[in-house]
A and B are shown apart, each in its own frame.
Chain A
């Protein structure tokens, strides 16, 4: 690992200032991707700005059908949170299924979203539940946030502070793990709320996306059977040793049915 300057920010403003001041500064929000990459010599930031002590990025609050999660909340925090379990169990399940206990006790929701790994779980939650990403300077709707492989709407130095999830009527998440990495080979979040039906797919393409054909079918009837015979095109999907594009396309429909079934099993 190359040398770097470690800075510990006490506030959002201090964090953003420190990141802007560095030649090639990175926020450190758990480091479960960044630190291994640095150890392998694939990243060599000049500064690491730790967000661990930024109070505004901590905590989980529930208010009027909205769950607000601080960007520095760890996956294990979200998975174990009682009100999330009660109101939005699909999110608990998703957070509790990320990687392994080691990662879940260090990795954070804000870090995961800013990284936007094409096979990460949280992007499916944010897009599939129509969440809002709150930053130091604006509010970004899920549909605008994810822009491509490891690419988001975040500007240089922009810092995710919180993520706000509206509580849906029903939601279910099913992940089909890659046999080695346990990232999502395909992961599907399906939800139904007053705003409509959302089906978000992670792992299958370059970036999380909404499966519109499935959404349209589910809008008519939010049941697994509504997806019978509804196929997802394989053209833009990832093909690799763990799964061809056609296999992934097949899995999207299968997992969407199971996500809907799970959504109907539990009271959101």
Chain B
């Protein structure tokens, strides 16, 4: 596999020159002649009936071209926002509840920020003023925003057809075995824990430009989305148009993290409006609008129970969760707190019996949908907190308890009790390596140094596993231009991760050409026929595999052309380092000469014509890969103030074969920082009485900053490449936040152990830590 030789090399990102010099092209950089601007009227109430809507004053304002109300939207008969949850069946076999949610609400609003009307005007300012002049009379209804409260008999009911707001009553695993083990085990430990509600806060807010060509009936949507092909199909279906009539594309996207996966209302209404007003329509969300209307993540409450025998061996695990899915089903609906969390429950541990039960509930909040990891970080958090808690409760060394229960290498392939098939890895080796990196012998001295400063130091190690996800199939296309440019088109989507470099590396290395010759095209329904976009850490694993496949197909074709040019037999042609050679005659021809010949039918074999080298390939993975690793960290806690500083951080990740270690480092770092945010800082808060969003700005929603972030020592374990794709790669994008969140929380609780503190709910704010210390010692 000579073409693999140059994978695994760090390569500075080719897109960075553009991004770092202000040359990136984001939605707001795109402008169309004669464009108008949209603004949305959004519900100020968490739950209310829409009594009347009066648009007459708004319509009379300067520049107003069109107002689309919820009533008009309903009357037009457009399809509802779709739900594509893979988990759809209740534990009793009945289907889940999927209430109809339209792009614009007409009779009832169910969360603060839900759109009820859209205004189109000449400028963004005019549109905003007119939207503010739309007079909506609401009759307020009782609301509920809390996940657990929503199930109560006295809770506000969002949908008449959904008793107790229960969207999906989910169960996976072996109930009988778990119950039997729990009944007889020597030790059963139980802990309640939440996964705080988060919002992604991508640097670039959502936005779009919708256009319609009346002459051809063609719609064009330039959209700040990370899921171009799938959402094209869904939006076309909602608008009841042929999907071929909707060209959907994204320019550079400034961060997604899952929040740009879903089908959103705004672009759909804008497409309709563009056909009505006959000019392009642009909309860019402001930051408050992003907080209100971007899909949120996590928001689960779980009771986790672990049964152990007298030697500390794990016997059974039960996770029982309530997951908040928001006011209605998002595009992935109830999947994250149900199947999305269930699939990796138990993580890297050999646990003979596992039961995952959960209730997905509707509340008066914006929809939750995939957020970096989409259930896998939650699953790791559950097991890592209960293992730490069990170790403390039973007086066992937490590292030893983990070591004892890891799935051993000789047990692989291993099918977990929830059905996850782990093909390869070496969990003990990975954990031992991170322990070796983390200077255990020097720890006691560091504890003493911290203590001398009045601080308490804590340590934790957390192995993790997750799975890749997202659409299983992908398309890649290579086209060769006369000027030497090689156009690489893929259906995956980088929202900043560096595919323009990493995927191009695969193509360039395989073809033996210079990276700079590749022009990268992504996120465009005109460029590839299918595309899975961004999600589930699939970019390299599925997209990269498609690129490798198409590049190899090109080489096969090139061998045929070379044989023709050299008067050889194709079987005698080999390809190496950009040169095709006849092993018998010793004659050779450079790939570039073959590329040139491929543009000229007269120089090609009879069955080929000009452009013969241009090739499209589809790759479909059979099953997910299982990225895994182990994180370790040390924290310092100031017991006087409750302030936590993450001082040291080490991790070892098994991503199989790593294409570009520098980019993989970046993925890991970003994931760790996001995990740190969940552990220590971030929380979306709705007022429990009014349902108002209290964290609707960056003055209130605390994101991690550079000074929160420790130096991270990152290493890759490459001893277990997967055979599930030709690259041997396992997804790397979401791993960081799987390990970081529990390892930081566990390290803080280690630091606080002397105070008798055993658990603090995330985020571990300084006041919570201080209260736990003073409460425990009081």
Contact = CB atoms under 8 A, between A and B. Distances in A.
B767 A244 contact: yes
Given A241-B685, A254-B640, A254-B641, A180 B767 contact: no
A176 B641 contact: yes
A242 B694 CA distance: 12
A247 B771 contact: yes
Output the residue of B685, B698, B766, B767 with the most chain A CB within 10 A: B767
Contact of B702 (A179, A244, A254): A179
Contacts of B765: 179, 242
A5 interface: no
A251 interface: yes
Contacts of A242: 765, 767
B755 interface: no
B681 interface: yes
A146 B696 CA distance: 30
Interface in B190-241: none
A242 B767 CA distance: 8
A180 B641 CA distance: 17
A251 B767 CA distance: 10
B694 A180 contact: no
A241 B641 contact: no
B701 interface: yes
A250 interface: yes
A45 interface: no
Contacts of B520: none
A181 interface: yes
A157 interface: no
Contacts of A243: 767
Contact of B770 (A180, A181, A247): A247
Contacts of B702: 179-180
Contacts of B452: none
Contacts of B640: 254
A180 B698 contact: yes
A251 B699 contact: no
A150 to B, nearest CB: 16
Given A241-B694, A247-B771, A250-B770, A181 B641 contact: no
Contacts of A180: 681, 698-703
Interface in A230-268: 241-244, 247, 250-251, 254
Range class of the A interface residue count:
10 to 19
Nearest to A1: B125
Contacts of B698: 180-181
Nearest to A180: B702
A254 B770 CA distance: 12
Contact of B699 (A1, A176, A181): A181
A181 B698 CA distance: 7
A181 B700 contact: yes
B700 A251 contact: no
A251 B681 contact: no
Nearest to A181: B699
Interface string B682-704: 00010000000010001111110
Contacts of A254: 640-641
A1 B766 CA distance: 37
B681 A179 contact: yes
Nearest to B643: A176
Nearest to A40: B288
Nearest to B701: A180
A243 B700 CA distance: 12
Interface in B104-155: 125
A132 B233 CA distance: 67
Interface string B628-652: 0000000000001100000000000
B39 to A, nearest CB: 13
Nearest to A257: B640
A202 B771 CA distance: 22
Contacts of A181: 698-700
B701 to A, nearest CB: 6
Nearest to B768: A247
A250 B681 CA distance: 21
B258 to A, nearest CB: 21
Contacts of B766: 179
Interface in B698-716: 698-703
Interface string A207-219: 0000000000000
Contacts of B699: 180-181, 183
Interface string A157-187: 0000000000000000000100111010000
A1 B698 CA distance: 20
A1 B767 CA distance: 38
A43 to B, nearest CB: 16
Contacts of A1: 125
A36 to B, nearest CB: 10
A117 to B, nearest CB: 12
A119 to B, nearest CB: 10
Contacts of B641: 176, 251, 254
B709 to A, nearest CB: 14
Contacts of B701: 180
Interface string B524-538: 000000000000000
A6 to B, nearest CB: 18
A241 B701 CA distance: 11
B418 to A, nearest CB: 36
A156 B681 CA distance: 41
A1 B700 CA distance: 23
Nearest to A41: B132
B435 to A, nearest CB: 31
Contacts of B694: 241
A146 B770 CA distance: 31
Interface string A102-135: 0000000000000000000000000000000000
A32 B24 CA distance: 28
A41 to B, nearest CB: 8
Contacts of B681: 179-180
User: Which of B125, B694, B699, B701 gathers most chain A CB within 10 Å?
Assistant: B699
A242 to B, nearest CB: 8
- Scoring B125, B698, B766 by chain A CB atoms within 10 A of each residue's CB, the highest score goes to B766
Interface in B720-776: 765-767, 770-771
Nearest to A254: B640
A254 B702 CA distance: 23
11 contacts: A179-B702, A179-B765, A180-B700, A180-B701, A181-B699, A241-B694, A244-B767, A247-B770, A250-B770, A251-B641, A254-B640
Interface of A: 1, 176, 179-181, 183, 241-244, 247, 250-251, 254
Given A181-B700, A247-B767, 5 more contacts: A180-B700, A181-B699, A241-B694, A243-B767, A254-B640
Closest 3 CB pairs of A and B: A179-B702, A180-B702, A181-B699
Interface of B: 125, 640-641, 681, 685, 694, 698-703, 765-767, 770-771
